[in-house]
Amino acid sequence: MERLKHLLRGEQATLVLALLLLCVVLSILTPVFLSAANLKNVLRDASLIAIAGIGMVMVILAGEIDLSAGSVQAVVGILAVLLLNESGSILLALLGALVAGLVIGLLNGLLVTRAGINSLIATLGSMAILRGGAMVGTQAVSIQARVEGFAQVGTGYWGPLPIPVLVAAVLLVSFYFVLHHTPAGRYLYAVGGNAQAARLAGLPVER
């Protein structure tokens, strides 16, 4: 009961109430809103943003910002499709995309922690470079995957639920556990709260 009262007093309660009110209004305005097909579409669209948002939360908790996330997604998507078309392997394309995103994120991190560049400036620059590279590399033309099964990653279903929704749910639970029940998560909060105090406490702030 006490935990429920605490949640109702928090700022999240306002957001939840606003969401519920919006759902009620939309369900009154159009009967299609609460249909199963529309709810699945809304969940799929929201899950794609949530997957990127989970990573952004980690950056913000550390007291930094990343403006290059959208451009990173574009470059990683292009690389994934190119690998897919060359190899015909969906697994290789997905692994290549994850490695590419990891390398770009690592470079952004090194610019901030080793080169001493403000994260706003560093990621603004990488955003421009990545976006320009994506435009030049594709000649600003959409490239299509030639392996039919690849589309199932974003549009397919596992049982009644869209695959992206399941991926977002797994990531949400995993990162919640990391942030609240592991030393790494507590270190992240400490660094974002006061980097100098965390450094004096012996935490690996730059890492």
Specify the pLDDT at position 32: 84
State whether the Cα torsion 48-50-53-55 is positive or negative. negative
Report if pTM > 0.75. yes
Neighbours of 173 (CB within 10 A): 10
- pLDDT tens digits for range 47-64: 989 998 998 999 999 999
Query: What pLDDT digit, counting tens, does each position of 155-193 carry?
Result: 888 888 889 999 999 999 999 999 999 999 999 999 999
Per-residue confidence (pLDDT) for residue 3, from 0 to 100: 64
pLDDT of residue 160: 85
Distances 11 to 2, 16, 185, 186, 187 between C-alpha atoms, Å = 16, 9, 22, 22, 24
Q: Indicate the SS3 state at residue 157.
A: strand
Mean pLDDT of the chain: 88
In the chain, which ranges are E strands? 157-158, 161-162
- Tell me the sheet residues that pair with 161: 158
